[in-house]
C-alpha cells in the first residue's frame, strides 16, 4: 500500500454522534527502532513482541459540530480526570493525520483514556495510547463506510498510529510485528507494521515478559530527542546495517526455535540501543545502577541454571525479562528471589506475548 491509498474518499455519510472504544497493547522491540527520517519513517526495520497485560483503553465520543471548526475540538480525560498536558501531543497527532482523516474538524471529541499499568511506572504509554486512538478513529471511518475490510482497517490504523509515535504502529496486531521496509519481506513497509510472515517455532508463541520497574520517574531524555541524535551520530550507518542484519539472523532463529541465538541477538540489540545513547552528542545514560545489577544477575543465573532467560531494554532504566513458558517456574522464582529487590518499591509487571488490540465498543 502507498501513502495515497490511506486518503479517505469523498461521498460517505458520517454519523452525527456516537461512541467507540478500543483497548490496544504495548509492545517490546527485539530489534530496535532508533533513528528516523521525516514523516515518521524509520531509519531501520524493527520487530517486536506484542504484549498482553500492558495496554491502554480509550473511548472516543464524537458529536458533529454545527459547522466545520478551524481548530481541533476535544476534551481529554486521563484516568477519569482532565489532562491538559496531553493536549499538545494529541494536536500534533491530529495535524499529522488530518490528511487521512479529514472529518477531524467536523466533530467535538471526548477522549477518555486509561492505562492498565501504573501511570508513573516509567513504561511508555505512547505506543498503546496512539494505537488505541487510531483504532477509534478508524471505527468512525468504518461507520461511514461499512464495506471497509478488516485488513485495510488494521493497516490504516497502524499507518495512523505510526504518525503519533513510531513504535505505536506495532501495537495494533499480535503477536510478532515487523515494521520498516526490509527486502527479504516483500510486504514490509516503512508506513505500517505487518505480522511477521515467516515460520515461527511454537516456543515463541507464549513467551513471558516480566517488566522490572527499576525507575518510575520521568526519563531525562525523550525517545524523540534520542531519535534525532542519530542524525549526526558517528555510528549511525553501522547501526542501521546491524539492525537489518539482526532481523535477517532472526529468521532462522524463529524458524528453528534457536533460543541461544535469540538471547544473543536480543541482548545485543538492547545494549546497542543504549550504546547509541551513550555515544551521541550530547551523550546520555538512561540505565541506572540497578539496571546493570539486574543484567549481571541474569547472566549469572543463565549460566548456572542453563535456562534461556534474557533481557531487553526500552529507552529507559526498566528491564524486560524474557523467557519461554517451559522455564517459567524456575525463572520466576529467580526473579522473585534475586531481582525484585532492585525494583523501585519492589514493583514489577507480569506480562506475556499478546494477540493485538480489541474493540470494546462501536
Chain positions contacting ligand DP6, by CB under 6 A: 29, 32-34, 40, 46, 124, 126, 165-167, 223-224, 227, 273, 314-315
Beta bridge partners of 283: none
115 closest CA partner among 130, 99, 102: 130
| Among 161, 148, 140, 187, CA closest to 21 | 140
Contact 295, 320 (CB under 8 A): no
Q: How far is the CB of 103 from ligand DP6 (least distance, A)?
A: 24
Alpha helices, H only, the chain: 87-97, 126-144, 150-164, 223-228, 236-256, 259-278, 289-305, 328-334
The alpha carbon torsion through 86, 92, 93, 95 (nearest 10 deg) reads 140
Task: Kindly tell me which of 236 and 331 has the beta carbon lying closer to ligand DP6.
Answer: 236
CA–CA separation, 69 and 37 (whole Å): 31
Question: Which residue's CB is nearer to ligand DP6, number 167 or number 291?
Answer: 167
**Minimum distance from residue 146 beta carbon to ligand DP6 (Å):** 32
- CB of residue 60 vs ligand DP6: minimum separation in angstroms? 20
Which is closer to ligand DP6, CB of 137 or CB of 243?
243
Q: How far is the CB of 62 from ligand DP6 (least distance, A)?
A: 25
Closest to 322 in 3D by CA, of 304, 303, 344, 307 = 307
The DSSP result for 317-355, as a single string, is S-EEEEE-GGGHHHHHHHIIIIIGGGSGGG-EEEEEB--
Q: How far apart are CA 305 and CA 134, in angstroms?
A: 43
Cβ neighbors of 145 (< 8 A, separation 6 or more) are 9, 12
* 183 DSSP 8-state letter: T
- When the beta carbons of 20 and 137 are compared against ligand DP6, the nearer one is 137
Q: Residue 147's CB: how many other CB atoms inside 10 A?
A: 7
CB under 8 Å to 299, separation ≥6 — which residues? none
Which residue is at the shortest CB distance from ligand DP6? 166
Shortest Å distance, C-beta 334 to ligand DP6: 25
Looking at beta carbons only, is 6 or 107 nearer to ligand DP6? 6
Integer Cα distance of 12 and 45 in angstroms: 36
Choice between 213 and 331, CB closer to ligand DP6: 213
**Minimum CB distance to ligand DP6, residue 87 (Å):** 17
Q: How far is the CB of 271 from ligand DP6 (least distance, A)?
A: 12
Q: CB-wise, 40 or 114, nearer to ligand DP6?
A: 40
- What is the closest distance, in whole angstroms, from the C-beta atom of residue 171 to ligand DP6 in the complex? 10
Minimum CB separation of residue 307 from ligand DP6 in Å reads: 25
Question: Is the CB of 166 or the CB of 354 nearer to ligand DP6?
Answer: 166
CB-nearer residue toward ligand DP6: 65 or 278: 278
Amino acid at each position: 500500500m502507498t501513502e495515497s491509498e490511506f486518503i479517505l474518499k469523498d461521498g460517505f455519510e458520517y454519523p452525527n454522534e456516537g461512541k467507540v472504544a478500543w483497548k490496544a497493547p504495548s509492545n517490546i522491540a527485539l530489534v530496535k527502532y532508533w533513528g528516523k527520517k521525516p514523516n515518521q519513517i524509520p531509519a531501520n526495520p524493527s520487530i517486536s513482541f506484542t504484549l498482553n497485560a500492558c495496554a491502554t483503553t480509550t473511548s472516543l465520543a464524537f458529536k458533529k459540530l454545527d459547522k466545520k471548526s478551524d481548530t481541533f475540538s476535544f476534551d481529554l480525560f486521563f484516568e477519569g480526570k482532565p489532562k491538559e498536558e496531553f493536549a499538545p501531543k494529541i494536536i500534533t497527532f491530529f495535524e499529522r493525520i488530518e490528511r487521512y482523516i479529514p472529518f477531524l474538524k467536523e466533530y467535538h471529541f471526548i477522549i477518555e483514556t486509561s492505562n492498565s499499568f501504573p501511570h508513573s511506572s516509567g513504561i511508555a504509554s505512547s505506543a498503546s495510547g496512539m494505537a488505541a486512538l487510531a483504532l477509534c478513529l478508524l471505527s468512525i471511518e468504518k461507520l461511514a463506510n461499512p464495506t471497509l475490510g478488516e485488513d485495510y482497517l488494521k493497516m490504516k490504523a497502524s499507518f495512523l498510529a505510526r504518525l503519533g509515535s513510531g513504535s505505536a504502529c506495532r501495537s495494533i496486531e499480535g503477536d510478532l510485528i515487523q515494521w520498516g521496509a526490509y527486502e527479504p519481506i516483500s510486504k514490509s513497509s516503512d508506513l505500517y507494521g505487518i505480522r511477521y510472515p515467516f515460520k515461527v517455532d511454537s516456543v515463541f508463541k507464549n513467551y513471558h515478559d516480566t517488566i522490572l520497574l527499576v525507575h518510575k520517574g520521568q526519563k531525562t531524555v525523550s525517545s524523540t530527542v534520542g531519535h534525532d541524535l542519530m542524525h549526526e551520530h558517528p555510528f549511525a550507518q553501522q547501526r542501521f546495517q546491524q539492525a537489518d542484519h539482526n532481523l535477517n539472523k532472526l529468521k532462522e532463529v524463529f524458524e528453528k526455535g534457536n533460543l541461544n541465538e535469540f538471547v544473543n541477538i536480543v541482548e545485543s540489540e538492547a545494549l546497542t540501543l543504549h550504546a547509541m545513547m551513550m555515544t551521541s552528542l550530547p551523550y546520555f545514560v538512561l540505565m541506572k545502577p540497578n539496571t546493570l545489577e539486574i543484567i549481571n544477575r541474569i547472566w549469572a543465573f543463565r549460566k548456572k541454571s542453563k535456562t534461556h532467560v534474557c533481557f531487553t531494554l526500552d529507552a529507559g532504566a526498566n528491564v524486560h525479562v524474557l523467557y519461554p513458558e517451559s522455564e517459567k517456574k524456575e525463572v520466576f522464582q529467580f526473579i522473585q528471589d534475586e531481582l525484585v529487590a532492585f525494583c523501585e518499591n519492589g514493583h514489577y509487571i507480569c506480562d506475556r506475548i499478546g494477540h493485538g488490540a480489541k474493540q470494546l465498543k462501536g
